[in-house]
Amino acid sequence: MLIKIKGHADMRRYTAHLSSDGDLEIPEGTTIATVLEMLKVPSELKKILIVNGRHSAYDYILKPGDTLVFFPPLEGG
């Protein structure tokens, strides 16, 4: 199944090899955690996970057409 992935800020380096649309073919039943492993995103890096505009957890099972966006936590002052 096909999903879209976008990494922002420092996380862009893990999606740089994807097409400009961020398309990635994954098997049915794949979780966000598995996709991050596939992209070789270190598990110790803190990240915000968004699927289709909503905060998501590592165990979320992706569906065809989902858009996964991930980025480091933001700090303000």
Structural domains of the chain sorted by starting position, each given as residue range(s) with its CATH number in brackets: 2-71 (3.10.20.30)
- pLDDT band at residue 74 under the 50/70/90 scheme: confident
> Do 65 and 3 touch, CB atoms closer than 8 A?
yes
Q: Write the pLDDT tens digit of every residue in 23-59.
A: 999 999 999 999 999 999 999 999 999 999 999 999 9
> Do 70 and 36 touch, CB atoms closer than 8 A?
yes
What is the rounded distance in angstroms from the CA atom of residue 40 to the CA atom of residue 50? 18
The mean per-residue pLDDT over the stretch 59-68 comes to: 98
Average pLDDT score over the chain: 94
The pTM assigned to this predicted structure is 0.91
